[in-house]
Structure 1
Amino acid sequence: MSEQRGNDEPERTEDEETNTDVPEAAEEAEAQADLQDDTEPLREPQKTVDAGNSMATDVLETAEEAGTQADLPEDAERLREPQRRENIGNSTATVKVVLVPGGHVMTVAFAIGLSIQELKRHLAAELRVPAEVLQISLDGRVVEEQRSLMALGVRPQGSTRMEMSSSDPASHPLRPLRPPQHDSMPDVITVRVQTEEGVAQEVVVEIERPPQQKAFLGGYRHRLTGAEYHHAANQTRPKWRPRTGAVVFSRDTQTAVRRSQVQQCPVDVSTQMSGVGCHVSRVNDKLLAARGGYITAAEYHDTRLRAVIRLQSFARCWLARQHVNRLRRDRDRRLAWLELQERRRTEEKEEQLSERRRRWMNPQRRQDFNLLYHALEKWRCEEEERINSSLRGAERKAALCALLDQETQLIADIGRHRNAAQKDNYDKSVKSFLDKSAAPHQWRAADGRLFKMDSEHTIRAKDLRDLYSNICTTTALNQEERLHTLLTVKHTVKEHACQLTRDIVDLIDREVDLMTRAVKAASLEGLRKRISTLFLQYIKTPAFNPEVAKLLKVPQNPSQLKNDMFLCRGCRRYLLSSNFSPSASTRLSGRCRDCTSLDNIARSRADLSLYESILKRLRAAEQRLNGEAKIPFLLQVEDLRYLVEVVWASRSALQASSDLYNLEFVRWERQTDWSPWNCILLSKEETSGHLQVEDVHKVYEATFIRRIEHKHTLARRHFSQIPVMAEHLDPRSPVATGQPAAAR
């Protein structure tokens, strides 16, 4: 029985067997000898030691024999001698193999008792070549395959250097399969180990590189020292799984199937028990006791269920908090965006109102004066309505006469402001005209630099501009400077002989004569005005100043005037087409700009600045959405005014807001370009919500949709009369085909 237990023990090192297994085996052998008298008193020692037997079996057998055969020391000595030889053969040594002709060095730890043939097989597996083609040589001589490293003189824990070549380098070259990044890492290291007796021993350790990356399963960290301790999976070799060739990634292998199968153990494998004539040692027996009380299956599953419910409650609580925080962030962003939009709309409206007030206080353009006349007309209507509702008879007539006088005085004041503004604008336009004519020629090179060049014509225009500026400046010049300027202008215009130059020379001589007679400057103001006007006419003549030819609106060729002159029905004058207001109908309105402005001042007094701002915002929005938009740029201010006042009644479609400062046109259907028959008039607050609608037929009610489509029909019927707008009509629409719209 002791031999059977000794064979079942795992292999251990020599020191461990000597310290633990030998006393137990000896004690067990003595007890067995006392109980069984008929057992052999002695056993013959083994003559040879088999290579497949483990070290533990030999040591146990030796211990048993030592206990029963104390009178045979010579037999025990003969038993230990092959054991020592086997221990020496199992010792490892460092073998450095040089691959010829590459020169790559492979370092392995190999047992000195194994043969060169085993070394070839090991290296052939590393290099993935057949072992038959490998040739190992030592000091230039080929080593036989039957010889071992110990026979070649290699000592335990020593090292040797060999060369290895291939007999068929063409088919099987020797190339290391290890990645280049691993070449710098050693294969074998020497570790100094402190034994129990206090003696240091050097042990050669071979470094194994795993073929796969092991999973990190976590670990622990010491709070005080900071040392990290990993789990066993990171400190042991990876688990080897045999390749059976079966497909494991299938539904059958991943689905658990419960099976019940009854098994009955045979009698000959029953548990050994102590009995009469049979003694079983109880040295290694352990007494195990259950901790705590007995837990039934129902209690165990109930505990697991409560734990699962608790985990689920915490997980759901965390998910709910995350969802609430996400909703809170979305709400805050939405409120911030709404506040920003509201602030932006308020700032835009305040800017418009401040711009309107600035235009009231300091009018400069024609639109600014139209705004004043519009405000005057609105005030007159309110006052007239108040007088008619509160007064009767002679008092009413007297109040209306006073209102008329007050209106006349206000119109006169506006007229004086208008004349002053026209004078300032005239001076600015003349200065801008002269600056453009005297500007040098500019062009941009291929490298992006801007080049400027002055020609003889631009220099001539620059000199004439300076002379005109000196003539117009009369207050800051004394008499000598004025005389010098007049003589310079006289010599300049005398270069060309014509009626205009002769008139300028005569006027200059007259002013010089009057100045020599000490005439006051106020008396010379009209004469100086005539000289500056004629000299400006001289500058605008292309024959005297060639650079102004490109800036003049009137063509110099009289034959071109036939196709660009039209009759104004108001003032009965033939004027250029640039003096008439454009319209989308490509037909002139019949009255020039001056007649239209005079009629507006006298009767209608309309202000189109609000419609102009709506048209500008519409063009900017459509330009961002579609760079090739055409219809918004074909419409004019009068057309947009008709669309707002007649078609949409100057109110938003949703909340009927009538504030023109806050109204704007957007697309009715987002996927289609803007047009009078695909638009809706909304306030700025309603625009953001409407632009998010994907399908208007699913969001708005049928009654509202029919009302919007009716307005689109009115707009299509009006603008279809304009040839340019008719080109963009849908050919399938009733208006485009000439058929009446169906009743809804």
Structure 2
Amino acid sequence: MPKAEGDEVKAKAEAAKAEEKKKVEGSQAKGESPAAAVVEKSGVEGAGSPEEASKAKEAKADASTDTKNDAEGELKAKEASTPQAAASPEAKVASPQADAAATLAAAEAGAAAAAAAAAGRGMAASATSGSVTVEVLVMPERFRVIQEFDRLLTIKHVKVLLCKRLSLPLRRFVLHMKDGVEMNECAFLTEFCADAKSIQLVGTVSLPNEKDNDYKMPNQIEVMIDTDINGHPVIVKVDIERKQDSKKPYFGGYRDKRNGKAYHHATSQTPQIAKEAKTKKFHRETQTTDVSSKSVQSKREQGTQMARKDLYIDNHDDKIITSQAYFTTEELLELKRQKALAIQCFIRQCFAWRKVAAYYHAKRTKARRDAAAKALAEKKLKEEEEDRIRRRLNPRTKSDFTALYSELREWRHNQEKAIRGLNASEEEQSQLMKELLAKEVKLMQTIDKLRQRANSANKQEAIKARLELMASPKEWLTDQGDYIEVVTPYTTRASELVQLYNGLRLRKIPVEQRIDVLLNVKFTVKEFDCLLTREIITLCNRENDMINRGRSTTSLNGLRRRLENLFLQFIETPEFNPGAKNFQRAPAATTKLTKIFPKVQTELWTRKNP
């Protein structure tokens, strides 16, 4: 085709496009559908003959029928979606798929109307009529789609038909030329192909984003499964079971140490309504004030109005202002210098007072520290003196007795020196030395008595500590670093024996309780037949007999002390008390006292001593 003819065809297409847009805008202002307007336009243009006029009227009627059907379909869709939205509180926002379907349906109706309009327009303008083959390369899958479209269809209608054929969402499909230029959706197809019979385009399908996943399936859907005998479809309502959309919140829990199974806390499934904050909370970014400069027009212009004979001016609120004496720069500098000197004086005074306050504070702190140190030293000296006196009066350790002996030697040395310094005869000095020796012997006897008493007390304390440790529960260290107390049969046996030993050591108890303690000791040691247990049983019987005869407590001290020592030996023997094995320095050998007699000898001895 020559170039002039191509330009002419293009000019006609642009004129037809402009006329169609005006017609569509006029129909929208009147409340009519664009398809009806296009059909009306085509009917007017093609009214050259009676047959063409009748065809135009039929096309207009079809377009109005399609518009009416579309309106009824939209109304039914709204009525169908209303109960579902009321049944499901969560479906407050329409899903993107539903919007896409509605848009697709509307676009198809528009495409059909445009096709009808194009058919009518083709009878009047044959130069722009006909179809064009569109070859679309779909990216990124890189497959081609070939389909014929009317030249007067818009790019939007072409996208709708392609999306319907390829089952693609309309908002994710973009058409553009081979050179990458995106095509305007309001443009007609004939603007890009001119008089060519085919055109190559590129369609890009974008990846889905987070907004595409906002669709929520309704609580109930309708599914057509089959047809009945009459050929009608059978529709079944299916309830949708929803899964939990988000992960459960973690509210804490605990774990079973035996098998490692975790148990989590939970809350009620009832949705909680978030409470609004009573006070407004601001972030750091929003606390910065935005400063902006704005120009405003005042209500009254600035100016001077003089009074005239035809103009009255109210001067009731006027004030007479007179100028004051001029303040020179030198005077201002002098005023600043005086104020600066005053400020310096106050600052130096403040620093001086602070320095004095710090000095007095340090002085008072040092005095309190010195007084506290002096009081602590005096208290320490007093405690040392009291401890020294206590160690002299009641010595307990080896160092205490060493100090006593050293002081005794020093005292004797001083006394001998004083005797030799006297102007006395040899007989008098000899007599004084004998008296000094007697005093020294008496002091040494006193020190020995204190040593014996201390040894006895220390021995009793050691025995008591050993028995308490023997009867105390075992402490085991756990993996968490804690200690747990475990009572074993050995500790239980040791605890019972220690209780009996403490009962034997009691002195100021009634006679009945003493007899009960002796009986318990007797039946406890009777389980083992040896010389030690026979002697303990004999002593228990003897003390019981002497108590029944009314003997005094003083006459029973030796017997009771002997019974205590034998029972203590019984407790410290591993054959009778397995818990005592851990408190022996070396493995104990079986002696005559602890050797168990045969059963025959035990029966004979039991008959003689019931």
TM-score normalised by the chain length of structure 1 = 0.33
Higher helix share: 2
- For the pair shown, which has the larger CA radius of gyration, 1 or 2? 2
TM-score normalised by the chain length of structure 2 = 0.39
Higher relative contact order (CA 8 A, sep 6+): 2
